[in-house]
């Protein structure tokens, strides 16, 4: 910096020597002026560049994006979930009523039959000769009856004649008594033969019924769902085995669901039950709860195992798309609400001592307000808001941005403003899981 001053002085001294050739007074004045200018220039050159003052430029406000979700209306259901199986609702078994050998099986598994149709024919073990002997016995008894009736008629005629002769005192007493005894004996023999004939008729009726029981008939209209009969198989009415044929009405099925003991107390008869099955993705069926079996389901509740109870309800199956044995995922509707204000469950934090939840709401002017929410029904995805929010409002997700927090604090510090504690607003509404779909709007920072 000294070198710069020397150069400046030399420059101005040279100029001065040329000017001083005129007048000493003028030279002295010029010298004073030039020295002052040199000193000022040197001071300017000595100032550091970082100390230069730049003019202030107005910076436009930056744009801040907030993550929000729009409060919507919809339907919500509170349910009890359970796994279940489809079962037959109405079915009947057909068994052999006579001992014998199966001659013919007229149906196959899956066939549709009508009530009264022949499904199995059995050849009985009863000998045909016995049936013929019974018929011959009947014929003999009928012949004896005719003979005894003729003898009874003759005995009655003899007794009548003896009675007339006795009135005329033209016969002996022993002859009269003998004719009366013959008439009574003939009548008794007729009665005895009639009794034997009735017995023979009963035997023949039994044999005829046995012949009719050779045919196994369908007890109800439906579908053959079990078949345990084959031609040549020996059967008996007293045989303890599976039924020859099982026929079921598949137009209605029963769902048996296993419900945990912690949930079964919430179920009531008549409650709506919806279910799906893996065989038909996206399709739903429904029914009304019929019965809760009051004993634990088989294989549950023993030792340290959890206890389950079987719950039954019916479902219409007129198109017979559903089949017995299909697995189901059942939802029993415990409570429901229509056109309710809904909020994703992931946005609910922890309730306060009064059971209320905190929420930060942004209005159309990006003004932040703190709300207390009262929640009603809830499920795994949504919660019903009873008070504190309205449909269409924007709910702020996550921590409150510092710009809004400073803005609120400034508004609270203004004269006459109601003071509010916003220091904990950053944690008022933190998602508990994956963040839901949000609305991102650009709002200028104030």
Residue 264, CA distances (Å) to 86, 142, 334 in order = 19, 73, 11
Residue 410, CA distances (Å) to 415, 416, 421, 422, 442 in order = 10, 12, 12, 11, 22
pLDDT at 19: 47
pLDDT in tens, 214-258: 889 999 999 999 999 999 998 888 777 788 999 999 999 999 999
Tokens, residue 407: 């803005």
pLDDT means per 10 residues in the chain (446 residues)? 46 49 54 57 51 42 68 91 95 88 92 93 73 79 85 84 82 81 85 87 77 84 93 84 91 96 94 95 95 92 87 95 95 93 86 88 81 89 90 81 60 50 45 45 39
Residue 415, CA distances (Å) to 369, 403, 408, 418, 423 in order = 19, 21, 13, 9, 20
Asked if residues 427 and 377 have their Cβ atoms less than 8 Å apart, the reply is no
Strands 285-296 vs 272-276: parallel, antiparallel or unpaired: antiparallel
pLDDT in tens, 258-272: 999 999 999 999 999
pLDDT at 409: 57
Q: Helix, strand or coil for residue 403?
A: helix
pLDDT at 349: 81
Instruction: For residue 266, report the phi and psi dihedrals to the nearest 5 degrees.
Output: -90, -5
pLDDT at 185: 84
Tokens 């919500």 sit on residue: 76
């Amino acid at each position: 910096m000294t070198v710069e001053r020397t150069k400046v002085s030399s420059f101005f001294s040279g100029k001065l020597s040329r000017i001083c050739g005129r007048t000493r007074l003028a030279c002295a004045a010029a010298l004073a002026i030039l020295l002052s200018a040199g000193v000022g220039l040197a001071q300017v050159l000595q100032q550091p560049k970082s100390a230069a003052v730049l003019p202030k430029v107005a910076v436009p406000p930056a744009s801040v994006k907030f993550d929000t979700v729009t409060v919507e209306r919809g339907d919500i259901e509170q349910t009890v979930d359970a796994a279940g199986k489809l079962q037959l609702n109405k079915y009947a078994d057909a068994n052999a009523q006579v001992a014998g050998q199966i001659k013919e099986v007229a149906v196959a598994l899956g066939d549709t039959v009508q009530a009264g149709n022949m499904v199995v024919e059995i050849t009985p073990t009863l000998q045909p000769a016995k049936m013929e002997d019974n018929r011959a016995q009947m014929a003999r008894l009928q012949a004896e009856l005719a003979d005894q009736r003729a003898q009874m008629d003759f005995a009655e005629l003899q007794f009548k004649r003896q009675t007339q002769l006795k009135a005329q005192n033209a016969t002996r007493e022993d002859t009269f008594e003998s004719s009366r005894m013959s008439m009574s004996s003939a009548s008794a023999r007729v009665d005895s033969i009639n009794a034997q004939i009735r017995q023979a008729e009963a035997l023949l009726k039994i044999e005829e019924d046995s012949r009719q029981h050779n045919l196994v008939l369908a007890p109800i209209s439906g579908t053959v769902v079990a078949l345990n009969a084959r031609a040549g198989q020996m059967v008996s009415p007293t045989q303890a085995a599976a039924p020859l044929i099982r026929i079921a009405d598949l137009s209605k099925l029963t769902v048996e669901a296993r419900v945990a003991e912690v949930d079964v107390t919430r179920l009531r008869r008549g409650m709506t039950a919806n279910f799906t099955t893996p065989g038909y993705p996206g399709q739903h069926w429904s029914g009304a709860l019929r019965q809760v079996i009051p004993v634990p389901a088989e294989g549950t509740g023993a030792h340290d195992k959890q206890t389950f109870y079987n719950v039954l309800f019916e479902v219409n199956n007129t198109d017979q798309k559903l089949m017995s044995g299909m697995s189901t995922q059942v939802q029993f509707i415990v409570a429901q609400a229509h056109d309710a204000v809904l909020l994703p469950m992931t946005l609910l934090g922890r309730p306060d001592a009064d059971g209320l939840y905190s929420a930060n709401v942004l209005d159309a002017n990006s003004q932040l307000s703190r709300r207390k929410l009262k929640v009603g029904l809830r499920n795994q995805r949504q919660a019903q808001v009873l008070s504190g929010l309205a449909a269409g409002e924007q709910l702020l997700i996550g921590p409150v941005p510092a710009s809004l927090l400073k803005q609120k604090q400034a508004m609270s510090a203004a004269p006459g403003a109601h003071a509010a504690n916003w220091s904990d607003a950053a944690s008022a509404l933190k998602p508990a899981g994956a963040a839901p779909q949000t609305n991102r709007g650009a709002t200028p920072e104030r």
